[in-house]
Amino acid sequence: MEQLIPIKDLVARVQSYNPRSNVRKLRAAYDYAKKVHAGQRRRSGEPYFTHPVAVAALLAEQRLDDATLITALLHDTVEDTEATYADITKRFGKEIAELVDGVTKLTNLQLSSTETRQAENFRKLFMAMSKDLRVILVKLFDRLHNMRTIKSLPPEKQQRKARETMDIYAPLAGRMGMQWMRDELEDLAFQVLNPEARTSIMRRFVKLQGEAGNVIGRINEDIQKELAKEGIAAEVIGRAKKPYSIWRKMEQKEISFSRLSDIYGFRVITANSMDCYRVLGVIHRRWRAVPNRFKDYISQPKQNGYRSLHTAVLGRDGKRVEVQIRTREMHEVAEAGVAAHWAYRDGERAENPFAVDPAEWISGLTEHFEAAADDDEFFEAVKLEMYSDKVFCFTPKGDVVKLPRGATPLDFAFAIHTRIGSACVGAKIDGRRVPLWTQLRNGQSVEIITAEGQSPQATWIDIAVTGKAKSAIRRSLRAEKRSRFVKLGRELARVAFEHINKKVTEKALRTAARRMGLGENSEELLARLGSGEITAREVVDTLYPELGDRRGGEIEAGKAVLGLEADQTWDRGDCCQPIPGERIVGISLPGRGVVVHAIDCPTLVEYEDQLDRWIDLHWHSGPHMPVHPITLDITISNDAGVLGRICTLIGEQKANISNLVFLDRKPDYFRLLMEVELSDTEHLNRVMTALEAENNVAAVVRYRPGNGEEAEADGRRRAAVGVQAPR
């Protein structure tokens, strides 16, 4: 059971690095939190107050300021006790109250939820970060302590917390520069999510140590000897990698533990940056360097302020050894990350030249997310940008561009400027022409080739990696798609209006838009008409409702079928779309009424053994109204004006186009499904004959999804290409 850290011990820790700490305020926060949490217990049985004190102690190890430590002591008071924001403000000031309020709101966010709210909550997380990064620091150390004591929770809650830690908090800690915390959080989560794998790795690691002896000690001694020969004073720290880090490498490289070589890492802490490069030279002269493993984060620091030289060499017995070389100040930033901004030393805010300004860091982190159109797009950008290692590439002028690992020339182009990315037609890497999907590597020089008139293509979404590139591509595609829908909608409206001997005017469109709840936005009306969200008949009926009664002598749609009981309702089968002139039969279905099928519809096979459901039906004799939609599968040449002529042909046959979706787009041909409202089979024959006679129509057939299984498969196919099913 965890012991409560006394206030004198906590104060002693704080005063060891900040003798000017406000001890009175720390004691007041300690006593207040202890009082309001009195009687509360953790799952493990110890007093609940042990938790906030432990979190404050962890933050004190990072030498953080009084405000952060007091927030840690109070971080669960508003959430779990009768304490209020007003009470915290009165006792400890507005700064503390706002920090506590920020942590409370983060606690209530369900970041691991699979619901759509996850994206919305992630946006709130970043809003909290942008206000004061210390809120996230307290939450991270809160999670660290909870993961260290997670065994007392029920198994299902352990799984949820561990998955949330692995997916969100561990990568967030790494992105903030606290790699040690990321490693520990991942390993603690790994212990819950896959205990068998972790135990297996630990056993094999212990066995390896037994066979090879003290490898870390021997390599450490070797490095110290080589540095001593050159007169370089430095501290050498060796360590074995965490089990999860080993497991991840085994999974990524698809190799067994016995073949895994780089399981040891060393840090060399020097007096100054010049010595860092001297140490690098010593190590590379003594041991063979592993190709493509050198990274210079001193000359090209990470966004969170991280600076270090990274290399890998073949040490004793051919074992691969990773080495990080940095100064003491760089090491402090590497350990504390962005939190180094608030670190104290000897009672003063530490003046570490490498500590990054949190405001600048969060601004740089979120600048790519601001263009996200919605929460889901923002969430995708966060995942892409937040949890990726970086690569550094150069423009032809030598400027550095930072991108996530796996980024492509397209990402590079959009990182320079949206205009460059949109006009990209090719790229050169180190002077050689490469495909746009090529993954960039550190140190490469990238030249973007542009062309006037080029615009983003739909396939680019799968090539781009960064949120900025994907957002820009989506915006362009949406604008292009809307323009296409507006053009198609205008043509559909023209044909529909000519069908009733009217002209489609801007005033008529604005009036229809207003009556349909779209303000007077005629462009929005046309876009929805072109995308199939509304039909041309709906637009016409909105403006000229009286025309629905002018068709004297025509049989109304509701009275078109004979053979039904007085109380029976009917509906056409979507599988065969029967129209007057075809032999039909009805199938009685509970809750739906009678479904009318063509006599040759494959769906009828399902009801062969249910003869009591069959109803003998026939169409009413006489002229029918052209309101029975059928679907045509049409292949047309991809030439200017062809689609307009097709619409005109159908309009000339007194038929109305109620929906249109594209199935396939090729450079020379388009294949589309067009829903047309007809009177009967004779009307259908006239329309198809007119289309077949058109030179630019390669094929036209009546489209019928068929039986239920075929209709379901058709629905899946349409969903895959992003089209609507015909009604």
Dist CA 707 CA 148 (whole Å): 57
Among residues 80, 380, 541, 680, the one annotated as catalytic is: 80
Q: Check: CB of residue 351 under 8 Å from CB of residue 122.
A: no
User: Both 443 and 385 in a single domain?
Assistant: yes
CA distance 352 to 635: 68
Q: Are 307 and 299 in contact (CB under 8 A)?
A: no
Q: Which long-range contacts (CB under 8 A, 24 or more apart) does 205-211 make?
A: 205/240, 205/243, 205/246, 205/263
Single residue among 349, 369, 394 that ends a domain in this structure: 349
Q: Are 304 and 434 members of one domain?
A: no
Residue 622 falls within a domain, yes or no?
Answer: no
Residue 442 sits in the same domain as residue 470: yes
Q: What is the pLDDT of residues 230-253, one digit of tens each?
A: 999 999 998 887 888 888 777 665
Instruction: Classify strands 295-296 and 288-289 as parallel, antiparallel or unpaired.
Output: unpaired
Same domain, 230 and 252: yes
Let me know if residue 260 belongs to a domain. Answer: yes
Q: For residue 294, how far is the Cα from the chain centroid?
A: 31
Q: What is the mean pLDDT of each run of 10 residues along the chain (727 residues)?
A: 86 90 94 93 90 94 91 92 92 92 76 51 62 84 93 90 85 82 92 89 77 78 92 91 80 59 83 94 91 86 84 77 92 79 63 65 56 53 54 81 86 91 91 90 87 86 85 84 85 81 83 84 86 80 65 69 85 91 91 88 88 89 85 89 86 84 82 90 87 86 66 41 37
Of 683, 633, 643, 667, nearest to 530 by C-alpha is 643
Quick one: 16 and 157 in the same domain? yes
The CATH number of the domain holding residue 422 is: 3.10.20.30
**CA quadruple 540, 544, 549, 552: dihedral sign:** negative
- Whether 273 is covered by a domain: the verdict is yes
Annotation says 262 is catalytic? no
CATH code of 270's domain: 3.30.460.10
702 DSSP β-pair partners: 632
φ, ψ of residue 41 in degrees (nearest 5): -130, 150
Is 413 in contact with 438 (CB distance < 8 Å)? no
Same domain, 132 and 245: no
- Beta bridge pairs of residue 404: 390
For helices 179-193 and 243-253, give the axis angle rounded to 10 degrees.
80
| Tally of CB atoms within 10 A around 413 | 26
Diameter of the chain measured on Cα atoms: 109
Nearest Cα neighbor of 362 from 642, 136, 588, 570 is: 136
d(CA 164, CA 181): 15
Structure tokens at 217: 């000690």
Residue 154 lies in a domain: yes
pLDDT tens per residue across span 671-726: 989 999 998 998 998 888 888 878 888 899 999 876 444 444 444 334 333 333 33
Residue 494 belongs to some domain of the structure: no
The domain of 427 spans 361-475
Q: Model's pTM, two decimal places? A: 0.53
> How far is CA 99 from each of CA 92, 106, 129, 143, rounded to the nearest angstrom?
11, 11, 11, 16
Asked if 385 and 301 sit in the same domain, the reply is no
> Taking Cα atoms as reference points, which of 93, 140, 619, 604 lies closest to residue 339?
140
Q: Does 299 map to a domain?
A: yes
Rounded Cα distance between 397 and 445, Å, is: 9
Question: Which pLDDT score is estimated for 375?
Answer: 52
Contact 266, 283 (CB under 8 A): no
Asked whether residue 249 falls in the same domain as residue 212, the answer is: yes
Of 486, 370, 451, 463, the residue nearest 412 (C-alpha): 463
d(CA 138, CA 653): 72
Q: Which H or E element spans position 447?
A: strand 446-450
| Same structural domain, 108 and 154 | yes
* One domain for residues 217 and 117: no
Of 31, 79, 346, 389, the active-site residue reads 79
Q: At what angle do helices 85-92 and 66-74 cross, to 10 degrees?
A: 140
CATH of the domain at 13: 1.10.3210.10
725 within some domain: no
Give yes or no: residues 172 and 30 share one domain: yes
Q: Which helix (H) or strand (E) holds 146?
A: helix 134-148
* Last residue within a domain, chosen from 142, 172, 193: 193
Q: What is the pLDDT of residue 712?
A: 43
The dihedral formed by the CA atoms of 600, 603, 607 and 611, expressed in degrees to the nearest 10: -30
Q: Work out how many domains the chain is built from and give that number.
A: 3
> Which residues lie closer than 8 Å to 527 by C-beta, 6 or more apart?
482, 485, 486, 489
Is 346 known to be catalytic? no
Q: What are phi and psi of 401, to 5 degrees?
A: -120, 125
Give CA–CA dist 225/219, Å, rounded. Answer: 10
Q: What values do phi and psi take at 695, rounded to 5?
A: -60, -35
- Provide the sign of the torsion angle of the four alpha carbons 111, 112, 117, 118, taken in this order: positive
pLDDT of residue 710: 43
User: Residue 392's pLDDT is what?
Assistant: 75
Q: Is residue 339 part of a domain?
A: yes
Q: Cα(317)–Cα(428) distance, rounded to whole angstroms?
A: 41
Secondary structure of 362-390 in HEC code, one letter for each residue: HHHHHCCCCCCCCHHHHHHHHHHHHCCCE
Terminal alpha carbon distance of the chain:
66
179 and 262 belong to one structural domain:
no
Determine how many CB atoms are found less than 10 A away from the CB of residue 519.
Answer: 11
**260 in Cβ contact with 250 (< 8 Å):** yes
Give the three-class secondary structure for 618.
Answer: strand
Domain boundary among 475, 505, 523: 475
Q: Of 536, 528, 436, give the one whose Cα is nearest residue 494.
A: 536
